[in-house]
């Protein structure tokens, strides 16, 4: 599965790219267990939600630790220091790995509710 990712290069510039998680065949639920595709389990350490009104802008900042951001409702965008933007709506997911460097700007286009899942050992 491929997900958008924000990360920092060796020069401290923040970029938006892709995180490609390998998948394997897995069975879902009780018999007859329909087949599906699953990634490896990733350990999470904490979970928090945040709601902000439309028009909110968080100036350039880094992720405090590696986390996954999931848009629960509304629409927002993230702007990397290289100028590239990713816009996410409900169900959108972003791997945030830019714990150093120039950081990113976050904006709420509409009222926005987010879930942050901190990743262990990332």
* Six-digit token string for 109: 């286009």
| DSSP structural state of residue 31 | T
CB 104 within 8 A of CB 78: yes
The rounded distance, in Å, linking the Cα atoms of 28 and 34 is 6
- Where do the H-state alpha helices sit in 1-122? none
pLDDT digits (tens, 9 = 90+) for 41-57: 899 999 999 999 999 99
Compute the average pLDDT of residues 33-47. Answer: 91
Cα distances (angstroms) measured from residue 6 to each of 19, 36, 40, 61, 113: 9, 28, 20, 12, 19
For 67-117, how does the pLDDT look when each residue is reduced to its tens digit (9 = 90+)? 999 999 999 999 999 999 999 999 999 999 999 999 999 999 999 999 999
pTM (predicted TM-score)? 0.89
Per-residue model confidence (pLDDT) at position 85: 97
């Amino acid at each position: 599965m491929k997900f958008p990712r924000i990360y920092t290069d060796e020069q401290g510039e923040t970029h938006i790219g892709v995180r490609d998680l390998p998948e394997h065949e897995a069975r879902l639920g009780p018999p007859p267990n329909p087949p599906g595709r699953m990634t490896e389990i990733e350990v999470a350490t904490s979970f928090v939600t945040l709601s902000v009104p439309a028009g909110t802008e968080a100036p350039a900042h880094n992720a405090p630790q590696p986390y996954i951001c999931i848009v629960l409702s509304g629409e927002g965008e993230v702007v990397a220091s290289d100028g590239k933007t990713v816009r996410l709506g409900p169900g959108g997911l972003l791997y945030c790995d830019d714990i150093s460097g120039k950081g990113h700007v976050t904006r709420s286009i509409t009222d926005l509710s987010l879930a942050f899942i901190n990743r262990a050992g990332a």
